[in-house]
């Protein structure tokens, strides 16, 4: 699990080109909802060592979040081989996150 938000976002084309399972987490280090979700995400990620986890610091004017139409934080986008498979907004349960991870980490 990645614990730090990337200050510089990757290009959308680079994200879409990543092979295999990917969890994109959009949020901010000062966001209360984001901080509350961290233990849930960490718990759900256990056993999913093959899933790449990118934490993206999102905000006004940042193009990656806009390309995924992010409105609320945290938003988790689950991708496999460049395609979105599932999305969770402000998840409140590790089990739901785990189910989405299982869909991309088969």
pLDDT at 2 > cutoff 80:
no
Measure the CA angle with vertex 67, ends 61 and 70; round to 5°.
75
Please state at what angle helix 32-45 crosses helix 94-104, rounded to 10 degrees: 60
What are the structural domains, with CATH classification, of the chain? 1-28+38-89 (3.40.30.10)
**pLDDT tens, 10-29?**
999 999 999 999 999 999 99
Q: What is the pLDDT of residue 36?
A: 97
pLDDT band per the 50, 70, 90 thresholds, residue 7: confident
> What percentage of the chain reaches a pLDDT higher than 90?
90
List strands edge to edge, sheet with 75-80.
52-57, 21-27, 75-80, 83-89
Q: Are 52 and 17 in contact (CB under 8 A)?
A: no
In this prediction the pTM is 0.95
Residue that the structure tokens 């498979």 belong to = 85
pLDDT digits (tens, 9 = 90+) for 74-102: 999 999 999 999 999 999 999 999 999 99
């Amino acid at each position: 699990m990645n614990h730090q938000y990337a200050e510089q976002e990757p290009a959308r084309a680079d994200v879409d080109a990543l092979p295999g399972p990917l969890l994109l987490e959009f949020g901010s280090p000062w966001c209360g909802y984001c901080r509350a979700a961290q233990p849930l995400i960490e718990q759900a990620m256990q056993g999913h060592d093959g899933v790449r986890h990118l934490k993206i610091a999102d905000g006004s004017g940042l193009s990656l979040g806009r390309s995924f139409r992010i409105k609320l934080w945290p938003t988790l986008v689950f991708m496999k081989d460049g395609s979105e498979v599932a999305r969770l907004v402000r998840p409140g349960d590790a089990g739901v996150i785990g189910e989405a991870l299982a869909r991309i980490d088969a």
